[in-house]
A and B are shown apart, each in its own frame.
Chain A
Amino acid sequence: MTTVHVDRAWGEKVGGQVLVMREGFSPRYDLNRVTGVISRIGHSAEGESIKGKILVIPTAKGGVAGGWAFFDLLHKGIAPLALVFGKLNPVMVQGAVLANMTITEGWSQDLVRLLKTGDTITLDPARKEIVF
């Protein structure tokens, strides 16, 4: 069992499968928000659905769309379960809080290297830990 510590965290304890991205992510730049599928040509997760997944993302991209987008995805039934960022911007936190979606920032080990899409992890914001 591996435990990775995070710098900041918000939300409830959750567990689930991860979708690992190798570059930055923005709901506006990279996601078809009608289908919930990554649509940016050449994105490392192109063609993957975010629905019900814990997204592991090294950096947040610019853009304010995330402030509403996660809430909208929730209403459409295609929201991710949680967001695990290496680095984020406030947009992602504002969007996650509005959608009541667990979110973390900063990791003690490189999760992009340690995890692969489909792996199962548990996020514990109170303990600032990710376990898998």
Chain B
Amino acid sequence: MNIMELTQEEQAMFDGDKGRAVQEAIRFQVEVGKFFNAKRFVPIVNAHVMGDIEVMGDGGLEMMRQIADEGAKCVVPSTSNARCMHFSDEPRLQPDKAEEDKERELVMHLRRMDISTTDTCINYQTVYQPKLGEHVAWGDTGTVIYANSVFGARSNFEAGKSSFAAALTGRTPAYGFHLDEVRRGNIVVNVSATLSDLADWGALSKIVGHPNQDYYAVPVFQGIDTTPPPDALKHLGASLASYGSMAMFHMVGVTPEAATLEAALGGNEPRQTMTVTDDDLQGIYDGYSFVDARKNIVVFSGPQQSLFEMQRLAHLFEGRKVAGNMTVVVTTNHSVYSDAKRLGYVDTLEQAGVVLLQGVCFYILQRLSDIRAENEWANLVSNSAKIVNTITAHRFNTVLRRTADCVDVACTGELK
């Protein structure tokens, strides 16, 4: 088995000179590095940690308690991903009380470790934008693919303890997307479809990602004749990561490592070339169907909404009311919520009957299967191609629709 080469400082961490938490962190990283034949560590400048009580459970909480009790601190600026609870009084979305207490304790421990609990899966839009070539350790797939693709930064999926370990040691094993050769494109996607809504970008990713589930598949998009806004790239990336388990894409003329198709491929002979047309896109929407049900939910989440998404939703819902048999949930992070409140978007949405949640993502809500059953929701409609894929363990019937169509479903109750 491969042994990673450690610097003097890393060896000191490994030997326990910087405390037990750091020792356990780097030993964990070395084991992961061995699997991927990593030769060394790379220093990181930022960590984004994923951990909430719904996914880490009591064992994870105890681990965080021990790390914080030891006084271990992050050695790079670190933020937290979206949480599984919103700590509001909304009666339709209540967590277990005991789990809520644990989640509050967990947040406290994260803060003791010097993690800024931003509770966001859109850190790349609202908190930190790494530079070209910068190594980071981010613990959410949508954030990782955005970092690699749009910023040209370098991160693997750093899940569970992995992102915490990187925050404590200030480094991560050099494998995967930290390496030049892994970042080169290997699937060419010619796009002739018109992409007019955020849902279209996610649908495009479903077409590319679903049949090519491979962490090391790197699609290169070309032929897109518009300048995609950040929210479009966000939905494209989040959906690719979800359907394809992919961590990077290139877009010719748009992303920093893809000035040309040749540059994006970096000498690779593409393993596949595909074309996506308007008919292909329509086929994705046609592939979803509603089940006959009285109560349903429309969700704008996964990823959390940016300020501009909030603005657009406010415009679409202005002067309208959510239908009596429908529930509408919008999630965003604390900073966007604050601005959206100041700008009047929150009030407009709330007047329409929309439920706004801060610091969470809908599909990771604690006890979501029970919440679904209690509210008798059958269909979940969203403009997020990611969320209609990620939420299925909770047995929703999911339907992807364009943003304005989602709002129409929400306000008319008509399933179309």
Q: Does A115 contact B (CB under 8 A)?
A: no
A-B contact pairs, 29 of them (CB 8 A): A30-B393, A31-B393, A32-B369, A39-B394, A40-B393, A62-B242, A62-B246, A63-B242, A64-B140, A64-B141, A64-B160, A66-B159, A68-B51, A68-B57, A69-B55, A71-B56, A71-B160, A75-B58, A76-B57, A87-B213, A88-B215, A90-B36, A90-B157, A90-B175, A90-B176, A91-B157, A94-B32, A94-B160, A94-B162
Chain B nearest CB from A63 CB (Å) reads 6
Please give 8 more A-B residue pairs, beta carbons under 8 A apart, in addition to A8-B37, A75-B58, A89-B245. A10-B34, A28-B363, A28-B393, A34-B369, A68-B51, A68-B160, A94-B158, A95-B159
- Chain B 187-224, CB-CB to A under 8 Å as 1, else 0, gives 00000000000000000000001000111000000000
Count A/B pairs, Cβ under 8 Å. 145
Tell whether, in the assembled complex, residue B35 and residue A97 are in contact, meaning their CB atoms are under 8 Å apart: yes
Interface size on B, residues (CB 8 A): 47
Interface of B is mostly: helix
Which 10 pairs, one residue from A and one from B, show the smallest C-beta to C-beta distance?
A: A67-B159, A67-B160, A72-B57, A64-B159, A75-B59, A89-B215, A91-B159, A68-B56, A68-B160, A59-B213
Chain B residues within 8 Å of A103, by CB: 35
A66 to B158, CA, bound (A): 11
With A8-B35, A89-B215, A93-B32 as known contacts, state yes or no: A72 contacts B159, CB within 8 Å. Answer: no
Tell whether, in the assembled complex, residue B60 and residue A71 are in contact, meaning their CB atoms are under 8 Å apart: yes
Q: Does B152 contact A (CB under 8 A)?
A: no
A-binding residues in B (CB < 8 A): 28, 31-32, 34-37, 50-51, 55-60, 139-141, 156-162, 175-176, 209, 213-215, 241-247, 363-364, 369, 389-390, 392-395
With A8-B35, A59-B214, A98-B28 as known contacts, state yes or no: A72 contacts B56, CB within 8 Å. Answer: yes
Name the one of B161, B242, B247 contacting A94, with C-beta atoms under 8 angstroms: B161
